[in-house]
Structure 1
């Protein structure tokens, strides 16, 4: 049996694994990516519906963080076939009474919509967006780089001054509901932010939820919620094309069974068939933290305190997603929803709080908050002319809806919510694909129990608490082994930061001061886990 020898092995060909592989290949490393599934891409994948001519993104669909990510900007994927498309409007939040708040890349269109709810909110939104424009680049660097982000944080402090920096820090800690009630008077602006906060797994009353709503709303105003022409899989295609140009290899259908270690260092991997791959410099794992530590490394190789901390690891809420092929566009009662790529349905501010409370109490909400994507509105290549490719999802408690009956009931509630705001919607359905927690995990093993963000975004599991109390970095207690997936800081969404941070850590470990770097990192880990 032969043994491959490369500079680095990357476990998993999700977008983070492919980002890491690209950056290592840029540095001249020989890189091999091993993927358990029969195709690369993980949750960034497009598939045909059973009805000819319709395509759907099985998981990720809109990519504001990709468009704003300095990691993706550095990869220049547009030169490898990626083309972004935008709907006429970014997002619409439809209230229970069918009033509608619209977020558009056209600032004037957004503020006009918000002024219909409260005239003073137009000025408040413009002020919030002006602050965003001042700090966007440094803030994105600070959010996506390893913790602590010393340089971007210093630039932010210089730009804002002490007082405004403290106010920004407070904003980052606020619950979404508190934030919007402080900043806005009308329901429109409040719901644009609070609804966007629900893209994470945090309730609108939870500390730290406000920053997610604010970030997505400001990104929507700035870069929109773009989608790749032809489907989310085009991101994967571009990453693969770029990697191949640099000599990197991806082998699918090879599930890694074990990370091999010697004298406290990762030295390679063994796959499920017993084949070995030796890594001269690094092993990077685009897998959930519990899978890496408990399955691939093994408890016997790890500090007892780390294993104890892993028992407190919390997954984010599960997801139920439905894709539809429609014979025509969704017949919205609210006119503002027709041109939006993303539509929020089913709740006002009180409804968002009730929905969040149900999830916290491990109850499947009777009145789901629905996030709906109009893909043909965004990218006409997704379905035949005059038709529509549309999806929607909602969150359910982790560990629920794992049987056909409960899953069918959630799908019924989702479709009932859409029908209420678009009478005749169900008559347009010609094809339907349903993915509950079981199906999502079967599609991508990293989506454990239907959790799509690699672990909760709650403040106690972010920054240097992610995935467990530690350094907020990709380094692990095993030298030359790096966590490159969404369980690592800064978490889920398609921005490539966990993969990029892992690649940079591996390069730093191998650099001129590599031994010093290793002693420093391992010394810090010893202090934390002993």
Structure 2
């Protein structure tokens, strides 16, 4: 990374935040020949893509850990990060799901589709063929489906491709299928519990209730991505992905500066003119500001209060964050002693609930109750990447949620005890193998990254009422803001959370478009549309 900024300078574009979306935006703008500076408040880049040795000799991913969306993302594929030092590693199995503490034969998804199909067919004859048929359909529609899910709203090219490949009737059926609640989607695709549970567990990677419309799309996408390309991890830790993004942005000419906190953005008329830092430095911007920050951070702290009309101000006051996260990092002196031997090779493991159990868990979250039997996402990082800890040991983590409004440390510690109890039930002797344990409470997550408000890691809920044109709020959906040259390039914009870089790409493309020869009529049209939408 380059030397510190002078007290006052000028750049074509200022990117606020060196999370993965900010770094993607910086690389794309620098590729276009812009002079780009990235300003990051923390002492290191990466946002929620970082790793560290919390226990000596054990590398822990501090936030995100497995990256199926990254390897599928057209934004990250375009950057060719493998040319900048990134290497991927895979666990022997992709993901497993234990439905209860006494489950000694948990179903597992493998990268070999024949092995996965045999796994499902053994438990419920016919589900192997159903799995193969579902995956073959996914292979036919993968490109236009991902284009639809990753495009700025409204998507055009992706739906057109789906129509060409499926025809109108089947495309409509697919759309209806993906809008189903996860439980109903699983029942429509498979007859047996094993395949259904794997889809349901993956649906819980988002914060949409399992019985809510639209919750099925994440489960479907992740199991298909898992079958197609696995759940890979960067060799050496999540920080290796960030390091490759920094090298890629700097190779294009962008400058990345850390420890530079933003105080405010100066605005004149419909344009941002400068970014003010808390240390007194000023960076004037010729062309654009990209904010890889949460939507409330941008609109309620950095921009002047009169940028938003009163209607969107009220909408932002009602902005819904995703549920707070509790993450516990473990260092063990031996592999996990699973009750179900099938889980030993799975990089990602879902623990603690069948369909009804997931609904009970969500009921706890929705009623402000700290769960006594939480659903867990569990990562076996040394299983996925042997470089994470000494041979014969395991670097691992568990991840679950607290209710909104219960992100205090006392509630987090109460939930952490329940997490350990669930792990001990599924892996008797687990706690006896611990040589280190570090809890990341919601307060710790927010302290390490201001975008992770109260431990929310998704940039806002993924539920339908705050997605697509409604993300981050009605009338201001997408990367564009009421200002001609300020763009939201974080998970607060569509398509939302996940390490895919699409939010940063969309913001960079919007900035390039607004600055081009058709920029002036586009800006006028966007302002008119915004006034119409907000009344």
TM-score for the superposition, normalised by structure 1: 0.98
Aligned counterpart for 1:294 among listed residues 281, 295, 300: 300
- After superposition, the C-alpha distances for 1:163-206 in whole angstroms (9 at most, x for unaligned) are 11111111121100111122211110110001101010111101
1:22 has 2:27 as partner:
yes
Residue matched to 1:519: 524
The corresponding residue for 2:3 is: none
3-state DSSP of counterpart to 1:469: coil
Q: How does 1:195-206 map to 2 (within 5 A)?
A: 195-206=201-212
Matched, 1:460 2:465: yes
Using the TM superposition, give the Cα deviation of residue 111 of structure 1 relative to its aligned residue in structure 2, in angstroms. Answer: 1.1
CA distance in 1 between partners of 2:7 and 2:427 (Å): 60
Is 1:67 equivalent to 2:71 in the alignment?
yes
Structure 1 residue 408 displacement after superposition = 2.1
Matches within 5 A, 1:367-446: 367-403=373-409, 405-446=410-451
1:89 to 93, 100, 103: 93
- Aligned residue number for residue 501 of structure 1: 506
Structure 2 residue aligned with 1:262? 268
SS of 1:257 mapped into structure 2 = strand
Match of 1:129 among 135, 142, 154: 135
| Structure 1 unaligned spans of 5+ | none
TM alignment of 1:145-294, pairs within 5 A: 145-294=151-300
Match of 2:52 in 1: 47
CA distance in structure 2 between the aligned counterparts of 1:210 and 1:114, rounded to whole angstroms = 19
Question: Which residue, out of 37, 41, 60, partners 1:56?
Answer: 60
**1:316-395 pair list within 5 angstroms:** 316-395=322-401
Aligned to 2:453: 448
| Contact 1:203-1:209 at 8 Å conserved across structures | yes
Distance 1:43 1:364, change over 3 A: same
CA distance in structure 2 between the partners assigned to 1:472 and 1:130 by the alignment:
34
CA distance in 2, matches of 1:182, 1:356: 22
Is 1:261–1:268's contact at 8 Å kept on the other side of the alignment? yes
Counterpart-to-counterpart distance in 2, 1:441 and 1:291: 13
> Alpha-carbon deviation of 1:246?
1.7
Write the distance in 2 (CA, Å) between the matches of 1:372 and 1:3: 47
How far is the alpha carbon of 1:2 from its aligned partner? 4.2
Name the counterpart of 1:79.
Answer: 83
Quote the offset at 1:366 in angstroms.
Answer: 1.2
The residue that corresponds to 1:141 in the other structure is 147
Q: Give the corresponding residue for 1:100.
A: 106
CA distance in 1, matches of 2:199, 2:476: 30
C-alpha deviation, 1:471, in angstroms: 5.7
Q: Shift in Å at residue 412 of structure 1?
A: 1.2
Who is 2:42 aligned against?
A: 37
Matches of 1:464 and 1:401, distance apart in 2: 29
> What are structure 2's unaligned runs of at least 5 residues?
1-5
- The counterpart of 1:119, out of the listed 125, 141, 163, is 125
- SS for the counterpart of 1:13 is coil
Question: What is the TM-score when the length of structure 2 is the normalising length?
Answer: 0.97
Alignment: residue pair count: 528
Distance 1:503 1:152 in 2: 20
Q: CA deviation at 1:113?
A: 1.4
**1:147, 1:471 within 8 Å by CA — same for their partners in 2?**
no
Farther-moved stretch of structure 1 (217-226 vs 468-477) = 468-477
> How far does residue 117 in structure 1 lie from its aligned partner after superposition?
2.4
Pairwise CA distance, 1:470: 2.8
What is the distance in 2 between the residues matched to 1:169 and 1:260? 43
Query: How far 1:62 sits from its partner (Å)?
Result: 0.2
SS in structure 1 at match of 2:107: strand
Q: Determine the C-alpha separation between the residues in 2 that align with 1:10 and 1:282.
A: 8
* Contact 1:202/1:356 (<8 A) preserved: no
Q: Take 1:121 and 1:2, find their aligned partners in 2: how far apart are those partners?
A: 64
1:528 matched residue in structure 2: 533
For residues 103-123 of structure 1, the C-alpha deviation after alignment (integer angstroms, 9 at most, x for no partner) is 111101111111232111111
The 3 A distance-change label for structure 1 pair 2 and 449 is closer
- Whether contact under 8 Å (1:146, 1:472) holds in the other structure is no
Looking at structure 1, the residues matched to 305 and 403 of structure 2 have their Cα atoms a distance apart, in angstroms, of: 28
Equivalent residues in 2 for 1:468-507 (5 A)? 468-470=473-475, 472-507=477-512
Q: Secondary structure at the match of 1:338?
A: helix
Following TM superposition, the consecutive aligned residue runs of length 4 or more in structure 1 with deviations greater than 6 angstroms are none
- What is the RMSD computed on CA atoms of the aligned residues? 1.1
